[in-house]
Amino acid sequence: MLGRCNRLLTMSAAVLAGRRTRADFLTNYIRKVSPGLMQAIDVVFLHIGAAVFAAVAYASWPEMINLQAPALGSGFLVL
C-alpha cells in the first residue's frame, strides 16, 4: 500500500516539476505540432474535471449536511 501511494506522489511531483512521465509523450508531441490544439484539449479536460467534481459534490451534499457526530450527541453538524 505504501509503495502505491509513493508512486502516486512521485508521479504528481514529476508532473508539477515538468519532468517527463511515460504517458506525456503524446501531449508533448501535440503541443509541439499545434500549441492551440493542446490548449483546447486542456480546456476541455479542465471543464470535464469541474463537471465531475460538481456532480460528486451535488450527489454527496445532502448526506454530508445530515451527518451527526456520535461522540458529540445529536444536533452537531460535522463538516
Alpha helices in 1-79 (DSSP H): 2-17, 25-33, 35-65
Percent of the chain with pLDDT over 90: 33
Ramachandran class of 68: left when φ > 0, alpha when ψ lies in -120 to 50, beta otherwise: beta
Tell me the per-residue pLDDT of 34-51, one tens digit each, with 9 for 90 and over: 999 999 999 999 999 999
User: What nine digits make up the cell of 74?
Assistant: 445529536
The predicted pLDDT at position 22 comes to 66
Q: What residue spans define the domains of the chain?
A: 1-33, 35-72
Provide the 8-state DSSP code for 71: T
Comparing 16-20, 26-30, 31-35, 51-55, the range with the smallest average pLDDT is 16-20
Give 70 or 48, the one with higher predicted confidence.
Answer: 48
Cβ–Cβ < 8 Å for 15, 21:
yes
